[in-house]
Structure 1
Amino acid sequence: MAIRTVLLARHGHHAEVGQVLSGRSEIALDAQGRTEADGLARLVRPRGVTRIVSSPRARTRETAAAVAATLALPVEEAAALDEVDFGRFTGLSFAALADDPDWAQWNAARGTARCPNGETMGEAVARAVGFVAGLPAGVTLCVSHCDVIRGVVAHYLGLPMARIFQLGCDPGSVTTLVLEGEGARLVALNERSG
């Protein structure tokens, strides 16, 4: 059976990381993020990447472009790797969200609660897992977002969505899964260059 390896990379840092729920905004990488994207390219260079696929957001496309330039590969876009649709929460600071009962409910029931005017974590993970499960043989780099990556890993490890915060996923990091039949084996979590 041909080996299917997926490298799940989080985009590099941007000015809102840890401060604002950026969601599906088009915020670009900052200087730190561009450095992290270059580091990601160096980290994955020896891994035999045969395909690069990115979420359609600017920050993921920029990160993927840095890797693509190093590996001389094109970048494809896939809506299935897009950020969670946070609906009304998009663009709000975490400080502003702290007292929002809808935000508290969404965090308390991560697998099933719906973001107002958005999607559930379960829906976001299902679309990303569907994409990952359909990848062909070879090594595919998928550049996506923190919660999406954590959700995919949690799915394959059989963890409930409430436990995704136990999985590290730093900006510019890569998590490696080897797909085996309907399941996957976690090879590495939250690797960073340097």
Structure 2
Amino acid sequence: MARTTGSHSDITGPRVRAAALTLFARHGFAAVSMRQIAKEVGVQAGALYNYTPDKQTLLFDLMQAHMVELLAAREDLPEADNAMARLEAFTRFHIRFHSQRPDEVFIAYMELRNLTPENFEVIEGLRRQYENQLETILRDGMRDGVFDVSDPKIAAMAVIAMLTGVNTWFQEGGRLSLAEVEQVYWDMVRKSVAA
């Protein structure tokens, strides 16, 4: 099918992904059709297939892009020399990074069930890389005697779940600033694992 007059792949492709992101977050993957995405972008439904082979690939691409961006942003941070400072940096990074991406976070957690087994395996592998970073920090702190947790893997998952929860309630302009929320959460994380 011919491309709509005035559409350009370097402009329309990102618009397709942005529309899918918004619609999946608002209505859920299963409830959104390719026709709805096309309407949101302002192209004919058939034109979407110039940018993605199907809706599953679109979901996978959104989730993979989020995880790759997350891991790259973590990699760019300077690494502290002790476990306590590393845990604080992880805590603050997680809150700050995810607070800017509520739709991506919602999809990353709520739409895993809609991935094909092959796509799920890839996304789960990327998630494990991130989770393992926190687990390593906790294990190092246990080794150094500053953390006391019975199971570092479960503790890492619990901390990530707690930190990700900020996205469900935090609003700019509310009672606390994001920096204040980070401090409250850092205090809770520190106290929950401290020896």
TM-score tier (shorter)? under 0.3
TM-score, normalization by structure 2 = 0.27
Structure having the larger proportion of residues in helix? 2
TM-score, normalization by structure 1 = 0.27
Q: Which protein has greater RCO, CA pairs closer than 8 Å, 6+ apart? A: 1
Larger Rg: 2
